[in-house]
Structure 1
Amino acid sequence: MRLGFHIGYWSSGPPPGAQESVLAAERLGYESVWSAEAYGSDCLTPLAWWGAATSRVTLGTNILQMSARTPTATAMAALTLDHLSGGRFVLGLGASGPQVVEGWYGQRYPRPLARTREYIAIVRKVLAREEPVSFDGEFYRLPVDGGAGLGKPLRSTVHPRRADLPIYLAAEGPKNVALAAEIADGWLPLFFSPKTDAFYREALAEGFARPGARRTPEDFRVQASLPVLVDDDVERAADRVRPFLALYVGGMGAKDANFHNQVFVRMGREAECARIQELYLEGRKKEAVAAVPTAMVEDVALVGPKDKIRAELAAWEETVVDTILVQGDSRGLEAVADALS
């Protein structure tokens, strides 16, 4: 089991001690550092800023939201960061959800899988730099139709450091997970639990079996985000994760279109999810947080004393996950490093 550190996205401002944690991760032998974005901080600027102080760790986006940038703009950022980091960049992409895509970015959300397929195809064309980029898709057309009528296919002025720069796909539902196995170099699961390992193995196998699949199970990466909170008091540690779960299960999506909610439903938490969502959407957020049971936290997080965390890590080593992306403070980084040393 390999280790990465997931900084995440900002809440009301920069997370305190972020650069110190990034440097601690590199010192502790972590393989990678990841950043995220939702509808506040972007994922590229913090990664470049804090990553500039490192020399070894891989720097990845987990995730860069596709609707935030055109495919060519994303490819430009990937080319740039890969050069600046000395070939240490990994591009993690995700479709996000309809509330953010349509409400924040002003883009249409329907058929995210088809859009993802086209998006990644264009990014790969830019990175390959084999010819001027043109694309005749349902969602993306280069050059664009209409306008001044003067657009023409262009090729990046920058030569890629790596034409095969890794592209990972964030996914939660079985169809999107299968798509990741088919067209990407890795999968970035959110709210993975050892108890759902068989479900996801089946979805991945479907993607690997498709004609033209890019990777095999042997060279495909699965890097899962995992909150780790070290505390002698399990409930106190779980309290630090509950607001995060309540937000995603209850409020990060409409009532009938919350993909995060469905992840926990598949774990057998349908009743808990319904109650959390009901409270959250009614504006009773504190009650929604309190309604997250500790067992539900423990499905997707490691909380409590170091010995408990060490014991529970064993279940993760039996899953399809090859890398744990630790979310937490320096104590969590140290605890997981110690447990796997």
Structure 2
Amino acid sequence: MSDAARDVFLPVAAQPSVEALVEQAQRAESLGYDRAWLPETWGRDAVTVLTSIARETDDIGIGTSIMPLYSRSPALIGQTASTLQEVSDGRFRLGLGPSGPIVIQNWHGVEYGNPLRRTRETVEVVRQVVSGEEVEYDGEYFDLDGFRLRCAAPDPAPAIDVAGMGPKSVELAGRFADGWHALMLTPDGLDDRIADLERGAELGDRDPDDVRVTLSLTCAALDDRDRARDIVRQHTAFYVGGMGTFYRDNLARQGYEEVANTVYDEWNGGDRQVALDAISDDLLDELAVAGTPEEARERLDAFAALDGVDAVSVSFPRAATTEEIATTIDALAPP
């Protein structure tokens, strides 16, 4: 049995209320999950929801996965991380990522460019802010001087994780961040990216074991096996086909170029059933956890046992109902 931690990745899809998300975090806490991660896309903002969760839980860790770094200044991200660390009594972990041009340009109206450099500078500025020292930074994108937090610095300073799918972004996480958030990776694909992470750690003169690897897995553990697999397949196809080119390229990079291109082309061409059919059962099981509770537990345990994985994060397909989310949280709880 792996000693990887078990986290819950609260739904990216719209939930009925903030209280529903709080209740999901409370449920995870009661079952022994290590941390509740919350994404931020174009629904509720992560900060308000995580504050509510922090106030209504006692022990479970909380974190952003991910907070898009183009939608806030690095100084504001540092202030926010400091405040969330305070209100959670030290339970906060900051997950950052560039997101993609579809969200950043079409939703935030901000130009998306050079995400690697922007990520590095943001991490470096945030580290200075949360240290409580005066911020002095001269970068390509950010030039800061003369201010420091007007409140006590968080103690301990929150860890900073970075999400990434490509070799260079994962290398960057290994070099500059405290953790890496991995997603939509097969076991073989994960091995390749962990090699990138280790190379980055070496470039930063760091121990790779000090960089926490959190693998996010789309999960549905339901008595209705067909329903579980259908909603996870639909979720996978939506990301590969409908969320720009990053997920398509990520899947192609792992040896599934034909599948990736078919899903992308057919999803955008309007024949979404063909896109769904392109994702075989075998591939679905390489990327996600979907089936009966017994099948899903066995599959999640296999992912948790992979070399280099420090935590597996149970996430949910977009079409999952609140009841199906609760059922899956229960079924995949830590042993």
TM-score, structure 1 normalization: 0.88
Equivalent of residue 3 in structure 1, options 2, 6, 13: 6
2:236 aligned with 1:245, yes or no?
A: yes
Q: Counterparts in 2 of 1:266-281, with a 5 A limit?
A: 266-281=253-268
In structure 1, what is the Cα distance between the partners aligned to 2:26 and 2:186? Answer: 28
Equivalent of residue 74 in structure 1, options 65, 74, 77: 77
Q: In the alignment, what sits opposite 1:56?
A: 59
> Quick one: which amino acid aligns to residue 120 of structure 2?
R
- How many residues are matched? 323
Q: In the alignment, what sits opposite 2:50?
A: 47
Q: For 1:227, what is the secondary structure of its paired residue?
A: strand
Q: In the alignment, what sits opposite 1:141?
A: 143
Q: Counterparts in 2 of 1:215-294, with a 5 A limit?
A: 216-253=207-244, 258-285=245-272, 287-294=274-281
> Residues 309 and 10 of structure 1: is their aligned pair in 2 closer, same or farther, counting only changes over 3 Å?
closer
Q: In the alignment, what sits opposite 1:200?
A: 193
Q: In the alignment, what sits opposite 1:183?
A: 176
Conservation of the 8 A alpha-carbon contact between 2:218 and 2:232: yes
What are the superposed Cα offsets for residues 289-312 of structure 1, whole Å, 9 maximum, x if unpaired?
454333332222111123322332
Q: In the alignment, what sits opposite 1:330?
A: 326
> Quick one: which amino acid aligns to residue 323 of structure 1?
A
2:143 aligned with 1:154, yes or no?
A: no
Equivalent of residue 103 in structure 1, options 93, 106, 109: 106
Deviation at 1:138?
A: 0.9
What are the superposed Cα offsets for residues 279-327 of structure 1, whole Å, 9 maximum, x if unpaired?
2222344553454333332222111123322332343212321111111
Q: In the alignment, what sits opposite 1:172?
A: 165
Q: In the alignment, what sits opposite 1:315?
A: 302
> Quick one: which amino acid aligns to residue 275 of structure 1?
T
Structure 1 outlier segments of 4+, above 6 Å: none
Q: In the alignment, what sits opposite 1:149?
A: none
In structure 1, what is the Cα distance between the partners aligned to 2:299 and 2:157? Answer: 36
Q: Which structure would you say has the larger Rg?
A: 1
> Residues 13 and 305 of structure 1: is their aligned pair in 2 closer, same or farther, counting only changes over 3 Å?
closer
In structure 2, what is the Cα distance between the partners aligned to 1:266 and 1:331? Answer: 33
Conservation of the 8 A alpha-carbon contact between 1:127 and 1:163: no
User: Structure 1 residues 289-298 or 155-164, which shifts more?
Assistant: 289-298
In structure 2, what is the Cα distance between the partners aligned to 1:61 and 1:212? Answer: 27
Conservation of the 8 A alpha-carbon contact between 2:131 and 2:154: no
Equivalent of residue 127 in structure 2, options 109, 124, 148: 124
In structure 2, what is the Cα distance between the partners aligned to 1:129 and 1:163? Answer: 11
In structure 2, what is the Cα distance between the partners aligned to 1:82 and 1:217? Answer: 25
Q: Give me the identity figure in percent.
A: 33
Conservation of the 8 A alpha-carbon contact between 2:90 and 2:156: no
Conservation of the 8 A alpha-carbon contact between 2:25 and 2:53: yes
TM-score, structure 2 normalization: 0.89
In structure 1, what is the Cα distance between the partners aligned to 2:222 and 2:30? Answer: 23
User: Structure 1 residues 110-119 or 290-299, which shifts more?
Assistant: 290-299
Equivalent of residue 210 in structure 1, options 203, 209, 212: 203
Q: For 2:70, what is the secondary structure of its paired residue?
A: helix
Q: For 1:240, what is the secondary structure of its paired residue?
A: helix
In structure 2, what is the Cα distance between the partners aligned to 1:234 and 1:15? Answer: 29
Conservation of the 8 A alpha-carbon contact between 1:79 and 1:158: no
In structure 2, what is the Cα distance between the partners aligned to 1:157 and 1:235? Answer: 54
In structure 2, what is the Cα distance between the partners aligned to 1:276 and 1:12? Answer: 27
User: Structure 1 residues 98-107 or 110-119, which shifts more?
Assistant: 98-107
